[in-house]
Amino acid sequence: MTYRIQGLDPARFADAEALIAEGAIRMKADSESGYPCRVTLQDAEPGENVLLLNYLHADVQTPFRARHAIFVREGAVAASHYEDVAPPYLEQRPLSLRGFDGAGMILVASTAEPGGADAGIRGLLENGEIDYVDVHHAAWGCFLARAERSGHA
């Protein structure tokens, strides 16, 4: 089963002051993990500025439409892309994995311990009815990534 994980478009987050005016919070990363950027798909380095903002990650017309907190490195200019492998920042955390069908309905969910992201994503995608897997931090609930079957938009 092949899948891809794509960072969010940095252009959506380019105007930090406008995002702050809409409720985002500027923070300074104070540890090597704990500030996972949804554009670069990496943890921000200590001392880097990040924006904490609310993001509509499940824009579906079902009861599973969802918004949650995400971090974005301030000034991130390029979205990372991973094909058939989980970004290292996912492998470092306990995760909640939620498998959705094409209509935006959750069909199955599971958790993965640190080191289990790739296996957990693959396990859910073995179900042919699952189109994508939304990955959240198991403890904090923050949206971390979407794993889509390769070839999906």
Quote the domain boundaries for residue 118. 82-149
Tokens of 146: 């979407």
- pLDDT band of residue 100 (cuts 50, 70, 90) is very high
The pLDDT of residue 135 is: 96
Q: Are residues 23 and 49 in the same domain?
A: yes
pLDDT range class, residue 23, cuts 50, 70, 90: very high
Are residue 18 and residue 60 in the same domain, yes or no? yes
Note whether 54 and 27 are same-domain residues. Answer: yes
Of 33, 49, 80, which residue constitutes the final position of a domain? Answer: 80
* One domain, residues 8 and 49: yes
The answer to whether residues 32 and 48 belong to one domain is yes
HEC assignment per residue over the chain: CCEEEECCCHHHHCCHHHHHHCCCEEEECCCCCCCEECCCCCECCCCCEEEEEEEEEECCCCCCCEEEEEEEECCCCCCCEEECCCCHHHHCCCEEEEEECCCCCEEEEEEECCCCHHHHHHHHHCCCCCCEEEEEECCCCCEEEEEEECCCC
Tell me the average pLDDT across 42-55. Answer: 96
Q: What is the pLDDT of residue 151?
A: 62
Do 30 and 66 share a domain, yes or no? yes
The 10 Å CB-count burial string (b at 16+, else e) for 60-84 is eeeeeebebebbbbbebeebbebee
Tell me the C-alpha distance between 126 and 133, whole Å: 11
Please give the average per-residue pLDDT across 38-49, as a whole number: 96
The domain boundary, picked from 25, 56, 80, lies at 80
Q: For 54-65, how does the pLDDT look when each residue is reduced to its tens digit (9 = 90+)?
A: 998 878 888 888
| Same structural domain, 86 and 103 | yes
Of 45, 80, 115, the one marking the end of a domain is 80
- Percent of the chain residues past pLDDT 90, beyond the cut: 82
Between residues 100 and 57, the one the model is more confident about: 100
* CA distance linking residue 14 with residue 138, whole number of Å: 28
| Domains of the chain: total | 2
pLDDT over 50 at 152, yes or no = no
- The pLDDT, as a whole number, for residue 58 is 76
Q: pLDDT value at position 153?
A: 43
Residues 89 and 131 in one domain: yes
